Amino acid sequence: MHIRSLGQDMRVSAIGLGCMGMSQGYGPNPGSRRDMVDMIRAAVDVGVTFLDTAEVYGPFVNEELVGEAIAPIRDRVQLATKFGWDIRGGKSVGLNSRPDHIKKVADACLQRLGVETIDLFYQHRIDPNVPIEDVAGTIGELVQAGKVKHFGLSEVRADTLRKAHAIYPVTAVQSEYSLWTRDPEPEILPTCAELGIGFVPFSPLGRGFLTGTIDPSVSFPQGDMRATIPRFEADNMSANQALVNHIRALAEAKNVTAAQVALAWLLAQAPWIVPIPGTRSLSRLKENAGATEVGLSADERADLDTLAARVGVAGDRYSEAHMKLVGH
């Protein structure tokens, strides 16, 4: 596995592992907790050193799962987790990035993960009630205390990113980015390039759609977030099939998979981009890791670059309520 540098010389594997789906988001997990612990350790064995979790995943249980998995291999991984939610009675009831709350969450995350330091601590969503300068300053205090190494922001606007970075250096921005979600390209990616900040795409495979394994006839189980996302409504999936068909055709011509092409395209965008596909399958894990060996020619990259604009993408990437939480 190749190694890449995010901002502030944080070095991680070129492909990371998003762990959210092991606890929530995609319906009942076909595997046991033991299976997921083994999955995380298998990821590290194939060279994945960058693991992504958050307090709100579960809530809390995903951090505990990751903590159990990495206990014997802590020195081989970089851990990213997130703060920013007001969690009461086991549910998120809104945003909370007040400085005192961030400090409490940091201590709780350290305990659940069973570690002494959080490698990368993201603000999960921007809290409009708390100045970003206060958030960045609080992370600086946590770094000074040895509880955090690096500061990250998720789903942030370029102007907010600049304000935060001026107070305390931002190491990485995490946002949705893939061949069918190109929102970061106009402003966030150029800002990251200018300021020396890494970029971490979540849902780099379009929540599974870009793998070519989901079609309009699918019925999502209870608890699968895709049932609430407009882009996964049957009519929109039918319209978006042209995008997947193009990716699949290129993959077949190169004797690789559609998922590997989608990830290779992301890797080719910049050397400081590190996708974090999630999976609960060992075969998919190995497939995703293999994307680092897939080369795309300049013509192939250019063709993929214009793909979404050429064929169009139908449907929003989140529900209307969730879209209000992004881009602050």
Residue 57 has pLDDT above 90, yes or no: yes
Q: Where are the domains of the chain?
A: 3-208+269-294
Least confident range of 257-266, 276-285, 319-328: 319-328
Tens of pLDDT, residue by residue over 113-143, are 999 999 999 999 999 999 999 999 999 999 9
Of the listed 57, 122, 168, 318, which one is catalytic?
57
Tens of pLDDT, residue by residue over 259-278, are 999 999 999 999 999 999 99
CATH of domain 3-208+269-294: 3.20.20.100
> How many whole angstroms separate alpha carbon 140 and alpha carbon 134?
10
Amino acid at 298: A
Active site residue 122: no
* Cα dihedral 277, 281, 282, 288 sign: negative
Mean pLDDT to the nearest integer, 283-302: 96
Average pLDDT of every residue of the chain: 96
Tell me the pTM: 0.97
Give the confidence band of 309 by pLDDT, cuts at 50, 70, 90: confident
Question: What phi and psi values does residue 17 have, to the nearest 5 degrees?
Answer: -130, 115
∠ CA 203-279-46, nearest 5°, is: 110
Mean pLDDT to the nearest integer, 52-63: 97
